[in-house]
A = this chain, B = another copy of it.
Amino acid sequence: MSLRDIKEAHERISSVINKTSIVTSHTLNEITKSSIFLKCENFQKMGAFKFRGAYNAISLLSPEERERGVITHSSGNHAQAVALAAKLLGIKALIVMPETAPQVKVNATRDTYGAEVIFCKPTIESRSQTTLKLIEKNDYTFIHPYDNDDVIAGAGTAAYELLNQVKGLDMVFAPVGGGGLLSGTSITVKGINSNIKVYGVEPKNVDDAFRSMKSGRIEINKTINSIADGLLTNLSERTFNIIQKNVDQIITISEQEILSAMRFIWERMKLVVEPSGACSLAGVLSSQVPIENKKIGVIISGGNIDLNEFFNLIQERIVN
């Protein structure tokens, strides 16, 4: 894969995606003595960068594949991304979710974005078997959340826009879970200018990418204890190879660092971002890489977070 793939993906999807804005903060720049540019994929359609990859991959399907429909398993942003992309392209979408998935995610996927939700037991085996059976029976095309070149190329278009919106960046930070976003980002950035540093940021509690880069082979997460619920997955061979080649360093951050960065973005910048979406800024603020006087691109991956409890608190205060 190369920059060319990202450019082609961008041409393919640019009339449908939101060209998300860049947000800056005087306070943040003062604190860090640097110039930080947030690429706000929380403003993307369905609230996360995932829409870029899903739409790119699904729009590349043949007429026969479109006719049969697509399937994926996810209870996160990828589910909503596939559901919305399929809806916009007039294609049937099935999403396999554990029966324990939060109702808010089921509703968004089914009611807002019109996909068919299939429930499975909350185990990896049940998830795979349920999905496989449906594919065997109906020949649906499986859209993997990151182990797919077209999904990676779509994800890379966020960095492609960022580098066109902000000239002269010294470094770019992106979160890493399964590695789709970081793969697409690093191909894009290094393809445009190999002198720009690319950093992947990962919660310490799910540091498979960090350990994989050290050992030179794919390591597996030992827990899934992170509030960054979009980053709990492991790298695939595909994303590991791309990251090994293109990424300068993986930075790990504590749960407290994630929460602090998220709180800064909410309180001072007035943006709703999810914990995973705040990780890239947490990496910038973690002092593991010298950033003084640098021009820094930061990909904010998404803004989907359950606000029920918060709005219930306000609801209780209402006097009619």
Contact = CB atoms under 8 A, between A and B. Distances in A.
Contacts of A259: 311, 314-315, 318
B315 A266 contact: no
Nearest to A302: B270
Contact of A313 (B256, B309, B314): B309
Contacts of A263: 307, 311
Interface residues of A, number: 39
Contacts of A272: 266-267, 270-272
A21 interface: yes
Nearest to A204: B320
Nearest to A260: B311
Question: Which label, helix, strand, loop or mixed, suits the secondary structure of the A interface?
Answer: helix
A236 interface: no
A269 B304 CA distance: 10
Interface in A267-320: 267, 269-273, 275, 303, 307, 309-311, 313-315, 317-320
Given A26-B45, A226-B319, A271-B272, 12 more contacts: A40-B270, A254-B320, A255-B319, A259-B311, A259-B314, A266-B272, A267-B272, A270-B273, A271-B271, A275-B314, A309-B310, A309-B313
Interface of A: 21, 23, 26, 40, 42-43, 45, 47, 205, 223, 225-227, 254-256, 259, 262-263, 266-267, 269-273, 275, 303, 307, 309-311, 313-315, 317-320
CB-based closest 5 A-B pairs = A270-B303, A225-B319, A270-B272, A255-B318, A42-B270
